[in-house]
Structure 1
Amino acid sequence: MNKISSRAKTTGLFPEGFIADSAAYILSQQLPDGSIPWFKGGYADPWDHVEAAMGLAIAGEYRAAEKAYRWLADIQLEDGSWWAAYKDGAIDNRERRETNFVAYVATGVWQYFLIKHDTQFLQRFWPMVERAIEFVLRLQTKFGEIHWAVDTEGAAKEDALITGCSSIYKSLECAINIAHQLGVARPQWRVAREALGNALRNKPERFDRTWGSKARFSMDWFYPILTGAFSGQAAQLRLQQRWDEFVVAGLGCRCVSDEPWVTVAESCELTMSLIAAGQYSRAEVLYRGLHRWQDKDGGYWTGYVYRDEAVWPEEKTTWTVGAMLLAADALAGLTSASALFTSVCLPSDAAQNTQGVDCFDELELSGSQG
């Protein structure tokens, strides 16, 4: 089990027992097959399942985290995808397969490796990652964006989401790193990532083409920063432009700009986005106030409607706890994966014409078994 740093204790970032209690809550919800539903009796989706698994890895619960990835590998479809949701060992939603859900497994697998330095783990799950990424990239358009989903029959749902494509952008970075670590050349993934980043930065007209704008969602605001599409002054400017619209002082980040509802997971992700933009002090202040939403069982309530002074919904989601642990790692450097969402790391040959830097020498990844 990882220990809380003395700096984290003195700055009041974490309550006593935070890591152990948070991990215990996720473990209490994980099913025997390895899946991690939102909460007991609920469904599991591939993206939020991975978010919770990453929380387990931060807490040192490696066996449980690996079990979570084995579950995904066991149920992966032949085309590399997963259905939108699963429940009690069965498919719960056959209506679609979402590209950002599918790609996110690469982020989780790479995070586990950064913490554990287990090359055998990478080799074991490489086929799953490769199939998932290839599925996603088959849905990239000539303009760079990636369709958000396919329907029951596998036909593309032809539109793109800023948040979803931003998540895929980070997942492609992680997939490229996995391939590099295993000595596998995937130059087409680098080209695809560059095209996707260009679309996110310069082609806003390629998103929300067939539905209303999603700009009211805070994730559309900060996810391009969280995942590395925007950095430096561009990231700082983006954060400042809508800060007052989304952030409620002393409470956290709204999910949407027009509702009096702050959510813990979005606040955690904004915390990491602030660190990525070089605003560490602001990140600390935001994160420190989130522990008020922790229940006695270690779980965190999903959100709070401040107009009504009420927790809503009355759910303690495993992915919210995962987000709390990811933000804690980013703030306090609890593991060697702490910079996953606060910097862009690519091998030197993939850093051509990108925002990435060659950080493999700094990581000193020897391929030793953890």
Structure 2
Amino acid sequence: MSDLAIPQVKSTSLFPSGFVRDSAAYILSQQLPDGSIPWFEGHFADPWDHVEAAMGLAIAGEFAAAERAYRWLADIQLADGSWWAAYKNGAVDNGERRETNFVAYVATGIWHYYLISGDKKFLQRYWQMVERAIDFVLGLQTEHGEIHWAVDADGKPREDALITGCASVYKSLECAINIACELDCARPEWQRGRSALGEALQHKPERFDRTWESKARFSMDWFYPVLTGAISGEAARARIQQRWDEFVVTGLGCRCVNDEPWVTVAESCELTMALLASGQRTRAEIIYRGLHRWQDSDGGYWTGYVYRDEAVWPEEKTTWTVGAMLLAADALADLTPASGLFTSVRLLSDTAQDAQGVDCFDQLELSGSQG
């Protein structure tokens, strides 16, 4: 473990003693020498879940390991700013597509690390990686505001949009804009893209799930617009209440889909943060406290539980589930300066920046290759 201080826990009622250290130790035990964090030993790593686990490391003060995770992404970033869907043993494991929410999420991770560490040189080192990733994603935005969910192996857009994916991108754009602002690198086109995406998420439901069956059965489509700030205030509370009984199983947590008897720890953590974002702390605490029953002796958390069969399923302890547990703990207990990242929208002002934007790369004295 790192010599850096583990965050001081303000409340022991939300999680057991040693929770932060034990959870980080599990993620560290799965991280490979190249910095990648697979789902679990022998499995692949995908860019989104890899970042989720890296954020967990940063919460625990494991900055060196978290930076190794981001360095891995920088080293394998493609020329157009994207990443393939999955990697395994130093090679591409899924070269069929590149998903926009996977690509954008690196901005969330980089901003999260900076909020905790205050290390501006870190932002400078990874600015080009973030810039290229976000430009790739916004290059797939339509005139209606939504963003195509992926491109295929040849780079051709897969022309449809996912509510969950676009909501995740919406939060990533907030983080990317904040990075740009912190580095005095105006990107007004990112702000325009974020505004258009928010408008689509709030007012254009017809732009999503156009070519496949609706994803409304998935709980993430329900709460992700709240979790990521696309829907807030009374509208957020109404949205949560509308489908609460479909997805929440009293005493267990949040179902992954509304038609299967399966609660999942990561979705329950994300719902916890969405509840905090919508001002429902009591509900958030109740859901989160019940999740620790699925922690194993090595610090990992089982992915889910089939309550009809009273069985853990699948028999996997995913690193991104542990990352989600740490993110929700931070949101509940203010462990780090990044505790509000998923419970509020904090968009830095850019009024002092050049409205036309500037090329910051040469000014930032970036060190090392960025992919």
TM-score for both structures, normalised by structure 1? 0.93
Q: Matched residues in 2 for 1:29 and 1:20: separation? A: 15
Give the aligned partner of residue 197 of structure 2: 196
Q: Matched residues in 1 for 2:324 and 2:43: separation? A: 18
Q: Matched residues in 1 for 2:127 and 2:349: separation? A: 21
Give the aligned partner of residue 175 of structure 1: 176
Give the aligned partner of residue 2 of structure 1: 6
RMSD of aligned residue pairs (Cα, Å): 0.7
Letter in 2 for 1:247: V
Q: Residue 41 in 1 paired to residue 42 in 2? A: yes
Which runs of structure 2 are paired with 1:1-370 in the superposition (5 Å)?
1-6=5-10, 8-9=11-12, 12-349=13-350
Give the number of aligned pairs.
347
Deviation at 1:347, TM superposition (A): 1.7
Q: Contact 2:186 / 2:350 at 8 angstroms: preserved in 1?
A: no
Letter in 1 for 2:178: N
Q: Matched residues in 2 for 1:73 and 1:186: separation? A: 21
3-state SS of the aligned residue for 2:210? Answer: coil
Q: Matched residues in 1 for 2:148 and 2:109: separation? A: 22
Q: Matched residues in 1 for 2:102 and 2:7: separation? A: 31
Residues 104-147 of structure 1: CA deviation (Å, up to 9, x unaligned):
00000000000001110000000000000000000000000000
Give the aligned partner of residue 368 of structure 2: none
Letter in 2 for 1:77: L
Q: Contact 1:2 / 1:334 at 8 angstroms: preserved in 2?
A: no
Letter in 2 for 1:32: P
Give the aligned partner of residue 356 of structure 1: none
Q: Matched residues in 1 for 2:335 and 2:17: separation? A: 15
Residues 79-112 of structure 1: CA deviation (Å, up to 9, x unaligned):
0000000001000000000000000000000000
Q: Matched residues in 2 for 1:63 and 1:18: separation? A: 20
Letter in 1 for 2:6: N
Q: Matched residues in 2 for 1:346 and 1:4: separation? A: 27
Q: Matched residues in 2 for 1:120 and 1:57: separation? A: 16
Deviation at 1:4, TM superposition (A): 3.9
Q: Matched residues in 1 for 2:348 and 2:175: separation? A: 11
Q: Matched residues in 2 for 1:161 and 1:337: separation? A: 27
Q: Contact 2:7 / 2:336 at 8 angstroms: preserved in 1?
A: no
Q: Percent identity?
A: 78
Letter in 2 for 1:299: G
Residues 236-295 of structure 1: CA deviation (Å, up to 9, x unaligned):
000000000000000000000000000000000000000000001110000000000000
Letter in 2 for 1:2: I
3-state SS of the aligned residue for 1:345? Answer: coil
Q: Matched residues in 2 for 1:131 and 1:188: separation? A: 13
Letter in 2 for 1:146: I
Letter in 2 for 1:157: R
Q: Matched residues in 2 for 1:192 and 1:98: separation? A: 17
Deviation at 1:348, TM superposition (A): 2.6
Q: Matched residues in 2 for 1:3 and 1:96: separation? A: 38
Residues 310-353 of structure 1: CA deviation (Å, up to 9, x unaligned):
00000000000000000000000000000000000112347xxx
Letter in 1 for 2:281: Y
Give the aligned partner of residue 367 of structure 2: none
3-state SS of the aligned residue for 2:243? Answer: helix
Q: Contact 1:144 / 1:195 at 8 angstroms: preserved in 2?
A: yes
Q: Contact 2:7 / 2:61 at 8 angstroms: preserved in 1?
A: no
Q: Matched residues in 1 for 2:132 and 2:98: separation? A: 14
